[in-house]
Amino acid sequence: MNPPPTYIRLHPNAPLPEIERFRWFRAAVVLDAEYSDDWQMAVSRWLVDSGCLYMMAWGPKCTTWDDSVDYAQILKHLPGEAPVNEWVMTTWHDEETLEDVFWQMRFSAMDELGRIEHSLIVHIGVADRAEEFQALYVRAEDLAEREA
């Protein structure tokens, strides 16, 4: 049984909170507001530096997030390569529902060494949607059976 995820709402272009206490974690980045390219890069570096091992992006322009997180990894480990045990798996989900993403977060977003203990819903938006997203995460548990 997966513990419920921690919901973190980020106001677009605002400072980022401390999340290192969740090291090693998986994150579903839910894009629900406009933001600058520079801030996207800052969020990507924040995820990598804080111990994210699996990042799943969903929402408008989600296809750009795998590249920004990959680039953040490269910047962190220059001039060499990232150690294999710190490489962040990145995915984007532009043609799936958020419930699909939460199902994958619950059952597929793992690392080879089994270190991921925490799940974060990183919501980039102006309105608090914690209850809605937490309920959708719980509902996603039996998605595969409902779609069978």
Task: Give CA torsion, residues 141, 110, 50, 140, to 10 deg.
Answer: -10
Task: Give CA torsion, residues 61, 48, 9, 131, to 10 deg.
Answer: 90
Whole-angstrom distance, CA of residue 20 vs CA of residue 129: 23
Whole-angstrom distance, CA of residue 43 vs CA of residue 124: 10
Tens digit of each residue's pLDDT (9 = 90 or more) over 43-57: 999 999 999 999 999
* C-alpha count within 13 angstroms, C-beta hemisphere, residue 20: 3
Q: What CATH number should be reported for the domain whose range is 6-12+21-147? A: 3.40.1280
* The model scores a pTM over 0.75: yes
Tens digit of each residue's pLDDT (9 = 90 or more) over 68-123: 999 999 998 887 776 777 889 999 999 999 999 999 999 999 988 889 999 999 99
H helix runs in 4-142, sequence order: 37-50, 65-77, 98-107, 130-139
